[in-house]
Structure 1
Amino acid sequence: MKILVCIKQVPDMESRFKVDSAGTWYDTTELVWRMNEYDEYGVEQAVQLKEQTGGDLTVLCIGPDRVKETMKKALAMGCDRGAHVNDPDYATRDPFEIGAIIAEYASDKGFDVIFTGMQSQDRGSAQVGVLVSELLGIPAVTTIVDFVLEGSTVNVKRELEGGIKAKVSVTLPALFTCQLGLNTPRYPTLPNIMKAKKKELLSIPVQDLLKVAFRLETVSMQLPEKKGGGLVLEGDAGELADKLITILKEKTGVLAK
């Protein structure tokens, strides 16, 4: 079985973000980088499937040279090789372009299963996985929280809105986008970290895979406006009611009865 898992390097969400000088993305200097959280579940599921089937597992990541450090974590978790699509301008790509790059890479590799995260933590479009499946002409099952392989069929559970679980069966080849809680991602052990340094990590210029023009362009972006602080009211119930009515009158101009 041939397996592909797609990951993205994103900033740690605890970072202090600021808009870059062009006003179209966040400033990437002085940020701490990590694997997209949803993708960690995809890597773990891909490794478990590889261990179950004795399959061959490739991890793919698009971005500048720094993403190789994140790819090494996936290799240490159990991926066999890495395919780095070298693209310094990855942040300007819309989901269709990213999906087209992945589909072009996978088109002649004969992957039976492709895993992606449900969405990225920085852009959050949740479109790339389904676009890849459409371009490859294979089924896609999104937001999976359970995965069971039986022969050439995969039985999954999807998490829908409101916490509802839906059972779906699909025949391979197919693509799956992974939701939080699908599994418990493993921590790479020191021996596996050392082994990862010897695994193949091939860099491919994005120009070799990008066959489409972009569809969307970010014109500008801004940080949310800061909101005023909250007001804590103290006193007994009667006093609090009077204070609240006074505040409502002052803030809204509405007469409270």
Structure 2
Amino acid sequence: MKILVCIKQVPDMESKFKVAADSRWYDTADLAWRMNEYDEFAVEQAVLVKEQVGDADITVLSIGPDKVKETIKKALAMGCDRGVHIADDEVSSREPFQIAGMIAEYARDKNFDLILTGMQSQDRGSGQVGILVAELLDLPGVSTVVAFSLADGRLELRRELEGGVKARVATGLPAVVTCQLGLNNPRYPTLPNIMKAKKKELITVGVADVLKVEARQQTAKLYFPEKKGGGLILEGEPAEVADRLITILKEKTAVLA
């Protein structure tokens, strides 16, 4: 069984963020980096499947500058078999369709039985890439998965919907699955596995070899929300509060008497 896991390197969310000089992304200087939290669940699920079936082969893929190799190595230490680095220093300017297009182009002739991604990235948060990969490869795609079972070449999944509702979904392989928080408990790499990861294959693919789709959208400007004044709490009897509220609305807005 061949499995592809797609991961992203993101800043630690406890970092202090600044808008970059071009106002189109955040300033990447002086940030600590880590594996996207949702992707950790995807890596763990791939390793669990390998432990279940015994003969699975896991490729972990990440797009970005040279520093993303450190995040790939963590996935290798968690149990993936080889790493693929799509070298792209301009990854932050790529919109989700282009990111998905690069993944699909790499995977198209590899005959993967299962493709796993995180539900979304913590920095961009579009939640689009995994499902776009499924569409581009003409495969079934199931998003926001919180329960996973594989038996007889079929997946039995549970999706988390709005309001905490769970939906049951079944599909055959090959398929694309995006992983939600709580799907499993990602393991910590042990020291022996960290040492083994250093010897595992890690190949680099040039972005020009896989970037075959044009951007369909672009970020015009990135900025922090404007600070607004505090709220006003009105206390008292309902009739009195209503009168005061109407007076305030007349003073602050264009509400007519």
Mark yes or no: TM-score above 0.5.
yes
CA distance 1:74–1:248, change in 2 (3 Å)? farther
Matched residue type, 2:37: E
Q: Deviations over 1:205-232 (max 9, x none)?
A: 1111111111111111111112335679
1:219 aligns with 2:217: no
Which residue number corresponds to residue 156 of structure 1? 157
Overall identity of the aligned pairs, in % = 63
CA distance 1:238–1:152, change in 2 (3 Å)? closer
Shift of 1:15: 1.0
Which residue number corresponds to residue 253 of structure 1? 251
Which residue number corresponds to residue 31 of structure 2? 31
TM-score by length of 1: 0.91
Matched residue type, 2:33: W
Counterpart Cα distance in 2 of 1:154 and 1:63: 31
CA distance 1:23–1:238, change in 2 (3 Å)? closer
Counterpart Cα distance in 2 of 1:177 and 1:122: 17
Which residue number corresponds to residue 11 of structure 2? 11
Matched residue type, 1:19: V
Deviates more, 1:71-80 or 1:211-220: 211-220
**Which runs of 4 or more aligned residues in structure 1 lie more than 6 Å from their structure 2 counterparts after TM superposition?**
230-233, 241-248
Counterpart Cα distance in 2 of 1:86 and 1:105: 13
Which residue number corresponds to residue 85 of structure 2? 84
CA distance 1:75–1:252, change in 2 (3 Å)? farther
Which residue number corresponds to residue 192 of structure 1? 193
TM-score by length of 2: 0.91
Q: Deviations over 1:17-60 (max 9, x none)?
A: 11101111110001111111110100100110111112000000
Counterpart Cα distance in 1 of 2:138 and 2:126: 21
Q: 1:139-154 alignment to 2 at 5 Å?
A: 139-154=140-155
Which residue number corresponds to residue 177 of structure 2? 176
Query: Which SS does the other structure have where 2:127 is aligned?
Result: coil
CA distance 1:245–1:18, change in 2 (3 Å)? farther
Matched residue type, 1:253: E
Matched residue type, 1:148: S
Counterpart Cα distance in 1 of 2:162 and 2:236: 41
Q: Deviations over 1:77-115 (max 9, x none)?
A: 000010000000001111110011000100111100000
Question: Which residues of structure 2 form unaligned runs of 5+?
Answer: none
Q: 1:130-145 alignment to 2 at 5 Å?
A: 130-145=131-146
Shift of 1:128: 0.6
CA distance 1:244–1:186, change in 2 (3 Å)? farther
Matched residue type, 1:110: N
CA distance 1:248–1:19, change in 2 (3 Å)? farther
Which residue number corresponds to residue 125 of structure 2? 124
Q: 1:27-106 alignment to 2 at 5 Å?
A: 27-54=27-54, 55-106=56-107
